Structure 1
């Protein structure tokens, strides 16, 4: 699909606003821990079977490459429609089953529906990445990072809406999550489809663009602060459920102020100065681009295909670093509902909101450092950053051996921040180590460890839980997950060592 001509940067920013809205509702799988305990009771399944449903959602990502191929041949609005429809079917049929509108859904059917629902996320993500990269060619890392951070906010948004509609009924809350996960992405995709499109924006990088990004950072940070305040126990009581939803809605609408500002500037003729500025800086921009190309040549001397990548030591170091870092963090968050239940912590939804809010800041952090400090001589390599982030993650797992609810909240926040930050950096690490030409296939192979780790680590946690459970299949006490936390913390420390080795082997890629 050829890009549409853009007469002003207003359309450019409007597309970014559309992506922000898409990402805000696209983390439907992150809602699972908020209603997993209720779902377990409603379906009358064991802890092992419940873990398999979380694994099924992650398995859907193995087919994420299909959406990438579809985006090459289909219009973006159709890719969005396909993705949201898959979610509608995956979550919608489960909802209809729980309210007894349909019958004869076996456990195998529900397992498949979770695979379908997990895959739906990939389609919306694909559109978001492609539009961010195409419409902000010189700021693509920042645009992708900022918009992706809103994906970490999804669980908070869904939880606030469910708390408003179903404040006191656990069974209705579980059904509410499934209903919202089915219809909200479809609704938002319909609203944003005209906004999210390719634009012919050229290569102008202006002061005005930099100023707009600073405003966007301010809005994003303000949204994150509001989300965190609404998730902390002692402070959250100041916010009623209705106030939380209205406040978050206004913050998600606030990026439209940038669009309005761009339109006003265009009408007043202020964009003429911008065009002159572009002409004067064209030579400078070209020099910067040439410099960046030479740096990239140092970092990636050849475009690496799958076969060659799999023979590289760097790949396997990176693979296991991701497995013992991001994947372990995601497995912890998937089991957050049962972990809270075993410790008799009744604030599962607030824990999910907390992990979502801090994960939001974690995803945003690499974009902030890239934007403001990318030319600093004191910047360290991304593998070194990953190693630094995995140390507090390991500490958080060991902190969970403390039986207090305070330790659970602190650990959840730390794991949310660190997992989000490493996830955000992983896109850049893949391109820097293995090139951009085969990025779609290469990165999908790297993140294939998510379903693998989800099954191995999640199954182990469920097995230990099951052995400690009573006759009703419920386990109460610190012992339910004690050995699991020791193992996860030890593996995370091993991942820290591997990340440091990756840093040593790849230092030349990060030295211009």
Structure 2
């Protein structure tokens, strides 16, 4: 049983350092200066990181044919190359890179994230057949810690010379995932158990650790100057090691049950349950020919992806509305995204035996609906509280949809080709990033007065928020349609 838990702990470590693309704003200005490029070209570099997901299906194919430890090493090698060469360029060790060289390196670095994600998802899904959603939710919630971990590490490294921050971020982007993958590789073992039992003590322990870790990250983000960076980094590192007590907690619970069984002079009900799932092998080409896939694709596009685009533009949005709390907004969005990823798993765990259990498609719709209100609130209200409220809602809901979608892909199209199928789904992220992001940029540009560099006022994003709100409404309706479709399939089974 310890082997199952060690695989999940490996996924936690991998996810905690797999948000390297969130560090792009930290070194983007330096790339803009060295390459002498325009703001539009810089925006395209941000898109390039997401564009790497268009090739994410390759990692799924590899995971079906290669050992997971090798898939991890390939992913970390791609990241080390993509970010490492950019580090050498920014550090002045390489002088011959053009804009398109950097663009392609960013695509490679963005693709490396898919390889690590694929391994993490497979570990959670296959090692915990009866507790998949909570295993997925706990592990993926740690992605929200990535920006905090890298920021704290750079704050320690660049304490003597803040001018090196851009270089330090790129160096850590290339090194941290490689170190984590090497440490996690021996733990990436899959056990396809036909029977299992629901694991209570271990998940309760891990859930408490996760909540404490998220709370620590939020608290230290809200009061950054009160705590030395070295203390923050040390605290997060210790909390990342703490999940190793989870196997011991589960074994202690089993020992207590054994003792109770002996005291009663008989066997105790261990809650052994058999995974009842009709496993149909749905290949990628079969999947994309099915209508429910494209409905699902649009639900994600008008939900999680739209939320991601909003959060990527949060700095510009806050600046246009005259907000001075950009760092607080970023911390707020990160915190709510962290707990948003975790919340659906908790509900699924405690209500899994309910006959009225909502489908994953229905859950995605329930999380998309509040985003409609968040965008429309920004249209009608220009006050500061509206910006903070909407940011919290979008962060929480987009994080939740991301977590739910992993189970939704399995529920709709099975686990046999999950690695490829889910990476095909998330290809909508770069597409949405390009379409929604460029639309927002064009509206922003039209809102400038007398050729000013920046747009100021609610008008800068008012049309954008209205269109985004309408798309969320459409996404909610499509999720309802998909929910009704999946319920019919369940009834037939």
Question: Fold conserved (TM > 0.5)?
Answer: yes
Q: 1:213 to 1:389 in 2, by over 3 A?
A: same
Farther-moved stretch of structure 1 (246-255 vs 108-117): 246-255
2:31–2:90 CA contact under 8 A, matched in 1: no
In the alignment, is residue 436 of structure 1 matched against residue 415 of structure 2? Answer: yes
Q: Give 5+ residue unaligned stretches, structure 2.
A: none
TM-superposed deviation, 1:188: 1.6
Which runs of structure 2 are paired with 1:124-143 in the superposition (5 Å)? Answer: 124-143=116-135
Structure 1 residue corresponding to 2:105, chosen from 113, 125, 130: 113
1:38–1:170 CA contact under 8 A, matched in 2: no
2:123–2:189 CA contact under 8 A, matched in 1: yes
Q: 1:306 to 1:13 in 2, by over 3 A?
A: closer
Q: Distance in 1 between matches of 2:127 and 2:224?
A: 38
TM-superposed deviation, 1:333: 2.0
TM-superposed deviation, 1:154: 1.4
1:54–1:334 CA contact under 8 A, matched in 2: no
Q: For residue 218 of structure 1, what is the aligned residue in structure 2? A: 208
Structure 1 residue corresponding to 2:219, chosen from 205, 229, 232: 229
Q: Distance in 2 between matches of 1:213 and 1:74?
A: 29
Q: Distance in 1 between matches of 2:162 and 2:456?
A: 19
Q: Give 5+ residue unaligned stretches, structure 1.
A: 1-8
In the alignment, is residue 321 of structure 1 matched against residue 309 of structure 2? Answer: no
2:63–2:419 CA contact under 8 A, matched in 1: no
Q: 1:275 to 1:428 in 2, by over 3 A?
A: farther
Q: For residue 483 of structure 2, what is the aligned residue in structure 1? A: 503
TM-superposed deviation, 1:327: 1.0
Q: Distance in 1 between matches of 2:341 and 2:157?
A: 29
Q: For residue 415 of structure 1, what is the aligned residue in structure 2? A: 394
Question: Could you list the per-position Cα deviations for residues 134-164 of structure 1 after superposition, in whole angstroms to 9, with x for gaps in the alignment?
Answer: 4333333332221111123212322333344
Which runs of structure 2 are paired with 1:12-27 in the superposition (5 Å)? Answer: 12-27=4-19
In the alignment, is residue 76 of structure 1 matched against residue 68 of structure 2? Answer: yes
Q: For residue 433 of structure 2, what is the aligned residue in structure 1? A: 454
If the length of structure 1 is used for normalisation, what is the TM-score?
0.84
RMSD over aligned CA atoms reads 3.3
Structure 2 residue corresponding to 1:393, chosen from 371, 376, 381: 371
Q: Distance in 1 between matches of 2:270 and 2:245?
A: 32
1:80–1:123 CA contact under 8 A, matched in 2: yes
Q: 1:355 to 1:35 in 2, by over 3 A?
A: farther
Q: For residue 332 of structure 2, what is the aligned residue in structure 1? A: 354
If the length of structure 2 is used for normalisation, what is the TM-score?
0.87
Q: For residue 3 of structure 1, what is the aligned residue in structure 2? A: none
Structure 2 residue corresponding to 1:376, chosen from 344, 354, 358: 354
Question: Could you list the per-position Cα deviations for residues 324-364 of structure 1 after superposition, in whole angstroms to 9, with x for gaps in the alignment?
Answer: 11111111222233334444545544433332221111111
Q: Distance in 1 between matches of 2:70 and 2:213?
A: 30
Question: Could you list the per-position Cα deviations for residues 250-288 of structure 1 after superposition, in whole angstroms to 9, with x for gaps in the alignment?
Answer: 22121122245568899xx879769999x9579963xx4
The number of residues matched between the two structures is: 488
Farther-moved stretch of structure 1 (411-420 vs 438-447): 438-447
